[in-house]
Amino acid sequence: MKKSLIFTILAFSIIVLPILGFLSFQSEEENIIKKLDQNLTFESIYYQGSFEIIRNNNKILKTFECWAKNENFLILFTNPEDKGVIYMFISPRQMMF
């Protein structure tokens, strides 16, 4: 009787406890993925950016600021050549000022 009880406890600890540990780790992993997804999904954003246009030997640098909310956005160019040019998209229209 004593040997079978020890064997049962040993078998339980070898088989069941690692499974329970794995299930709790999987839950923790799912929580990390959900939190990462929440951090990457946003309703609105503001950023500054730049891009370079190369034609033949000429390099043109464009800089801008952008505000966006859901599908709508406003881009304001800040480089000297295009200063004040605005692209605006308010679904379903795109406008340039």
Note down pLDDT in tens along the chain; length 97 residues: 555 666 666 566 666 666 655 555 567 888 888 888 888 877 889 999 999 999 999 999 999 999 999 889 999 999 999 999 999 999 888 888 7
Amino acid found at 18: P
Say whether both 92 and 50 belong to one domain: yes
Q: How far apart are CA 37 and CA 13, in angstroms?
A: 36
The tally of domains found in the chain comes to 2
Say whether both 48 and 5 belong to one domain: no
Domain interval for residue 13: 1-41
List Cα–Cα distances, 94 to 4, 25, 26, 76, 88, in angstroms: 77, 48, 45, 14, 6
Q: 58-69 and 86-90: which strand pairing?
A: unpaired
pTM assigned to the model: 0.56
Q: How far apart are CA 95 and CA 24, in angstroms?
A: 52
